[in-house]
Structure 1
């Protein structure tokens, strides 16, 4: 009998397992292993500090972000007084799982099948090595098994109805020379690359992640990525691997079943709208799920599992609402995307955007700047300001 079984060994699940093990709880971490999630790999300085990420996991430090409009106009935004870290998910996720194991979590490798109950939840899974069905008894289960989570679909109301973007990327050997900059990430807002999200070129040291995402069913993600590579002179680079997966677009209204299951990370829908950033929020989600599980184990009150969502939303709800509003306003057409890139020329927008990104909270230190941005935003959306800058 474990205190907690964590289903899923990505950043959310590994963080939850490590926190619980360090708190003295008996924990099993069930993961399929071998799967690498498609991800640009960007992490902010706050994540590096809060979760003690060692320098050797950073494959690049980004100093400039380039926004590319549908007409090919480029806006370079310097990242002042900091950087955006880049990690390769293959190495990063493996490190987090190993760290959880070192803290005392018991690793199990296999595929989740279902939860049954007999004096508490029992996680049924298929062991990867033997192919046999095995079971793990627990007092609480944390579902951290990603977007379209099977734990969420089975156990939590609304868990089978979270909207998502399908993301696809290719890890390639980074080119030498040309227009490629190993210290710059490119974000491409172009309906030909993605009709409702964006494309990206993110350096990973000797490699790069090139990809895009879309909610449109039937949209050819592989062809769009090929077009993106060609447009950036990356079509001749060696392709190391290809990956695709869903990314949720909205936090679920409920993260627990009111009994013995709580969700974390993508399973709970905590990916930032507009940017699609998920690693930081997954790890925060894992931490608050661990806190909620620990509280429930101590009190015996199933209602304490609701702490996970309340703790997360207390700090991040406003940021998520602002980013969702921005996505709804600017991602709907190429004209709107052109205006968004035009807005990115503004120095106040640039500074506040990256201060908020690196610190993971809205910056309130300059109220006049916020007011100016509000007026500029309305002017761009209404067409009072031309999207084309000379």
Structure 2
């Protein structure tokens, strides 16, 4: 058994949320230990908005592709193209992207430890001791504060910020394949999204290009839904069945923001552990990093003042900044994803130029209004009613 001493902050989880939190706190002059498991690769479509590059000082060389539009496919095989005006969807490979973020955290002063988090033990002086397994050996890490950024099934959250029952999740599964050549008709600058109940009864299937590789996946919260079979079907109907499979991965994605992120003492959550994945789209990288930054700021305030109320501000700040988008996307998913008839209407709706501008503006700016005029919203509402009445227009 080893004792690594006392740190200001222990960050459990080295994904985007944890790595950003560790780097920010290290820059503030705090002693930080970033704990992450060896060999962890998060299954993820890897899509990020350009705003992420600016907000978190991410170099563009980490982008493996730029998608300049999307193709939406309905249950009836209607294809709707959604070009992006004055923007793009960036694509990153999580193995390299996460490693770069962890490396940057270390370069600005954070210490790193590879191991598996087991539990926290609260000490008499108000600090905590984290029990970590490293190569079969128990290591104790003491800290004044802890950020739990250890994923949708967070062990930190289960112990320190428990909820009744189980938090709802979508189980996502994807297969990373070698990208076909352009001679096959494959478009490496476009994201394909399939709203078909056979591929997902409550989410969607996707084909996201990553340069030399491509993510083909789906997800569902429905217990027993055959995700592997659905991906096999998606690959078959798109001519990707014979493409070389590089790896297969699956993981849970939280369906809603947790009602509480802190334990009222010295622990706060971030990233998937806090439930910050956008409904309907499943976008999580930007929101994870935003929550990690907010958690770091609030932990710094807590350490400076001793006021535990500072930890609760992390969730409030996040919901003030992004709650409107999350609520709008949540309503959209519950309504339009309910069955194939509604999915067909939804895909038709995506053909309206005003809808496209609103969707891409929200994605690029992370607000529901974006830069759109009130008339855009009036026209979008009119389009909603037209499609619900079965009017076949685009």
TM-score, normalised with respect to structure 1: 0.97
Which residues in structure 2 correspond to 1:113-128 (within 5 Å)? 113-118=118-123, 119=125, 120-127=127-134
Which residues in structure 2 correspond to 1:327-366 (within 5 Å)? 327-362=333-368, 363=370, 365-366=372-373
Cα deviation, 1:326-372, whole Å, max 9, x if unaligned, reads: 00110010011100000001000001110110111122540011112
Cα separation, 1, equivalents of 2:295 and 2:275: 13
- Aligned residues of 1:166 and 1:244 also touching (Cα < 8 A): yes
Which of 302, 307, 315 is matched with 1:301 structurally? 307
Moved more, 263-272 or 51-60: 51-60
Which stretches of structure 1, 4 residues or longer, exceed 2 Å deviation after superposition?
none
Q: Which residue of 2 aligns with 1:378?
A: 385
Cα separation, 2, equivalents of 1:331 and 1:30: 38
Q: Is 1:146 matched up with 2:168? A: no
Which residues in structure 2 correspond to 1:64-143 (within 5 Å)? 64-118=69-123, 119=125, 120-127=127-134, 130-143=135-148
- Aligned residues of 1:152 and 1:160 also touching (Cα < 8 A): no
- Aligned residues of 1:45 and 1:359 also touching (Cα < 8 A): no
The change in CA–CA distance for 1:7 and 1:331 in structure 2 (over 3 A counts) is same
Cα separation, 1, equivalents of 2:158 and 2:164: 4
Task: Please state how far the C-alpha of 1:5 moved relative to its aligned partner.
Answer: 0.1
RMSD of Structure 2 on Structure 1 (CA): 1.2
- Aligned residues of 1:153 and 1:160 also touching (Cα < 8 A): no
Cα separation, 1, equivalents of 2:300 and 2:130: 19
Which residues in structure 2 correspond to 1:1-390 (within 5 Å)? 1-118=6-123, 119=125, 120-127=127-134, 130-158=135-163, 161-176=166-181, 177-362=183-368, 363=370, 365-380=372-387, 383-386=388-391, 388=392
Cα deviation, 1:45-95, whole Å, max 9, x if unaligned, reads: 110110111111100000011100011111011111011100000100000
Runs of 5+ unmatched residues, structure 2: 1-5
Cα deviation, 1:95-137, whole Å, max 9, x if unaligned, reads: 000010101110000001000011211111101xx32011110
Secondary structure of 1:332's aligned partner = coil
Cα separation, 2, equivalents of 1:217 and 1:78: 35
Task: Please state how far the C-alpha of 1:160 moved relative to its aligned partner.
Answer: 6.1
Q: Which residue of 1 aligns with 2:3?
A: none
- Aligned residues of 1:153 and 1:159 also touching (Cα < 8 A): no
Secondary structure of 1:217's aligned partner = coil
- Aligned residues of 2:205 and 2:219 also touching (Cα < 8 A): yes
Moved more, 173-182 or 133-142: 173-182
Secondary structure of 1:304's aligned partner = helix
- Aligned residues of 1:190 and 1:337 also touching (Cα < 8 A): yes
- Aligned residues of 1:156 and 1:257 also touching (Cα < 8 A): yes
Task: Please state how far the C-alpha of 1:384 moved relative to its aligned partner.
Answer: 1.3
Runs of 5+ unmatched residues, structure 1: none
